[in-house]
């Protein structure tokens, strides 16, 4: 099947195969719920996330348990936990998408340049990638976060700077393979320019890999942001973040466990959802897997 009809049928077929996977649908449902909660947080949240309410604490000064006026209870300062979770979802998603998008761009540029040109250019780029991979990602992120003044966008930049190396490795391997194919050699023989070969022939073949790694990478950035915020070097309070909600309330782990378990469960579910969708996309977009559903 060739022509415009084939081009239209391929995405439709991939989407149909994706929608037949129950785990992928479950992941998509979780993502849609979180995204919807984040987008409509100002209208859904019953209280201001930073409002310290007089009736938000017991007579002994302890957080209120879930139920009644406070759906998920309150935190150590009498703030509504449900409202903070909704606004915290915004932080996690913004950083997750922004940091992963930047890491994807850096990794793709490094990988495609090294894989296509090879030689000393590829050698230098990939040795630098190996050097970056030698550093523990969390330790490097902590060092960078300590150098810069933590904020929403600084945290996203720091996470991107430690997360691009895996993408670069994968893109380098695929680009190196594509660059030796006969159709690329034919294009060079016909006098096609380097930009034309890269953007008209190499990059379209890499799109499925980029899409899959882009989806899977969001779960990594969400977890890393939560870790940095929990360690106190991520997004600073009072800006709500799922990681700093756990950090602020960890002293109440035994007397008010919902303050840790609820945001912790939210982090796990969102990361799992993106992993489920990413795994499904990898199988759906992989030509070798067609016909195995």
The answer to the question of residue 55 being in a domain is: no
List the one residue out of 78, 22, 244 whose CA is nearest residue 150: 244
Q: What local confidence, expressed as pLDDT, does residue 14 receive?
A: 64
The answer to the question of residue 197 being in a domain is: yes
Cβ atoms 112, 205 nearer than 8 A: no
**Confidence band, pLDDT 50/70/90 cuts, at residue 12:** low
- Judged by average pLDDT, the poorest of 20-29, 192-201, 281-290 is 281-290
- Rounded Cα distance between 123 and 129, Å, is 10
* Alpha-carbon distance values, 243 to 84, 138, 152 (Å): 11, 15, 13
Q: What's the pTM value of the predicted model, to 2 decimals?
A: 0.85
The CATH number of residue 31's host domain is: 1.10.3720.10
The answer to the question of residue 54 being in a domain is: no
**Confidence band, pLDDT 50/70/90 cuts, at residue 10:** low
**Higher pLDDT among residues 44 and 68, named by residue:** 44
The answer to the question of residue 2 being in a domain is: no
How large is the average pLDDT for residues 186-210? 83
Q: What local confidence, expressed as pLDDT, does residue 5 receive?
A: 45
Q: What local confidence, expressed as pLDDT, does residue 31 receive?
A: 93
The answer to the question of residue 48 being in a domain is: no
The answer to the question of residue 71 being in a domain is: no
List the one residue out of 60, 85, 81, 61 whose CA is nearest residue 70: 81
**Confidence band, pLDDT 50/70/90 cuts, at residue 7:** very low
Mean pLDDT over each residue of the chain, to the nearest integer: 84
pLDDT tens digits, one per residue of 151-165: 778 888 888 888 899
Domain ranges, residue 255: 16-42+81-289
- Judged by average pLDDT, the poorest of 62-66, 135-139, 254-258 is 135-139
Q: Indicate the number of domains in the chain.
A: 1
The answer to the question of residue 1 being in a domain is: no
């Amino acid at each position: 099947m060739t022509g415009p009809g084939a081009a239209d049928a391929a995405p439709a077929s991939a989407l149909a195969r994706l929608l037949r996977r129950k785990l992928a649908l479950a992941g998509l449902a979780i993502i849609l719920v979180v995204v919807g909660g984040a987008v409509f947080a100002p209208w859904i949240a019953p209280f201001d996330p930073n409002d310290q309410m007089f009736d938000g604490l017991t007579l002994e000064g302890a957080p209120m348990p879930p139920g009644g006026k406070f759906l998920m209870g309150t935190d150590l300062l009498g703030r509504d936990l449900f409202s903070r979770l909704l606004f915290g979802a915004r932080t996690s998603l913004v950083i997750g998408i922004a940091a992963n998008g930047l890491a994807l761009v850096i990794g793709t540029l490094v990988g495609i340049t090294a894989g296509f040109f090879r030689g000393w250019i590829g050698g230098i780029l990939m040795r630098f990638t190996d050097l970056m991979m030698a550093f523990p990602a969390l330790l490097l992120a902590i060092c960078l976060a300590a150098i810069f003044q933590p904020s929403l966008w600084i945290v996203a930049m720091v996470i991107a700077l430690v997360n691009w190396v895996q993408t670069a490795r994968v893109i380098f391997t695929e680009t190196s393979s594509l660059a030796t194919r006969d159709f690329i050699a034919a294009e060079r023989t016909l006098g096609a320019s380097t930009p034309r070969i890269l953007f008209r022939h190499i990059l379209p073949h890499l799109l499925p890999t980029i899409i899959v790694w882009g989806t899977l990478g969001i779960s990594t950035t969400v977890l890393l942001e939560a870790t940095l915020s929990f360690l106190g070097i991520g997004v600073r309070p009072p800006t709500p973040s799922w990681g700093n909600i756990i950090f602020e309330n960890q002293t109440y782990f035994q007397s008010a466990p919902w303050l840790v378990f609820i945001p912790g469960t939210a982090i796990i579910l969102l990361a799992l959802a993106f992993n489920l969708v990413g795994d499904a996309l990898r199988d759906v977009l992989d030509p070798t897997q067609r016909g195995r559903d």
